[in-house]
Amino acid sequence: MKIFSEELVAKAVKELHIADLSKATIGEVLLVAQYLEKETGIPFIRMDQGSPGLPVNQLGVEAEKAALDRGVGSQYPAAAGVPELKYEASRFVKAFMNVDISPRACVPTVGSVAGSYGSFIACTQRTPGKNKVLFIDPGFPIQKSQLRIIGAEWVEFDIYNYRGEALREKLESMMAGGDIAAIVYSNPNNPAWICLEDAELKIIGELATKYDVIVMEDLAYFCMDFRTDMGHPFEPPYPPTVAHYTDNYILMLSSSKIFSYAGQRMALTCISDKLFDRQFPALAERYKDAGVFGQTLIASILYMITSGCTASTQYAYAEMLRLSTEGEINFVEDTREYARRAEKMKKIFTDNGFHIIYDYDVTKQVGDGFFFTIGYGNMTGGDLLKELLYYGVSSISLSTTGSDQQGVRACTSRMRDDLYDVMAERMKAFNEDHPLN
Q: Please give the average per-residue pLDDT across 420-431, as a whole number.
A: 97
- Same structural domain, 341 and 243: no
pLDDT-derived band at 1, boundaries 50, 70, 90: confident
- Same structural domain, 122 and 186: yes
d(CA 148, CA 146): 5
Q: What is the mean pLDDT of the chain?
A: 96
In a domain, 279, yes or no: yes
Range of the domain at 391: 6-52+336-433
In the listed set 325, 358, 375, which residue is the last one of a domain according to the structure? 325
- Same structural domain, 90 and 217: yes
Per DSSP, which regions of 191-266 are E strands? 214-218, 249-254
- Same structural domain, 84 and 227: yes
- Same structural domain, 245 and 188: yes
CB-based contact 380:22 (threshold 8 Å): yes
pLDDT at 319: 98
pLDDT at 26: 86
- Same structural domain, 202 and 313: yes
Q: Is the per-residue pLDDT at 297 higher than 90?
A: yes
Q: Is the per-residue pLDDT at 415 higher than 90?
A: yes
- Same structural domain, 156 and 243: yes
pLDDT at 58: 96
CB-based contact 407:374 (threshold 8 Å): yes
- Same structural domain, 194 and 69: yes
Q: How many domains does the chain have?
A: 2
Query: pLDDT (tens digit, 9 = 90+) per residue, 117-134?
Result: 999 999 999 999 999 999
Residue 42 sits in a domain whose CATH number is 3.90.1150.100
pLDDT-derived band at 50, boundaries 50, 70, 90: confident
pLDDT-derived band at 22, boundaries 50, 70, 90: confident
- Same structural domain, 370 and 292: no
Per-residue b or e along 19-35, where b marks 16 or more CB atoms closer than 10 Å to that residue's CB: eebeebbbebbbbbbeb
Query: pLDDT (tens digit, 9 = 90+) per residue, 189-223?
Result: 999 999 999 999 999 999 999 999 999 999 999 99
- Same structural domain, 381 and 404: yes
d(CA 149, CA 123): 15
pLDDT at 136: 98
pLDDT at 77: 93
Q: Pick the more confident residue, 27 or 204.
A: 204
pLDDT at 156: 98
Residue 180 sits in a domain whose CATH number is 3.40.640.10
- Same structural domain, 282 and 373: no
pLDDT at 231: 87
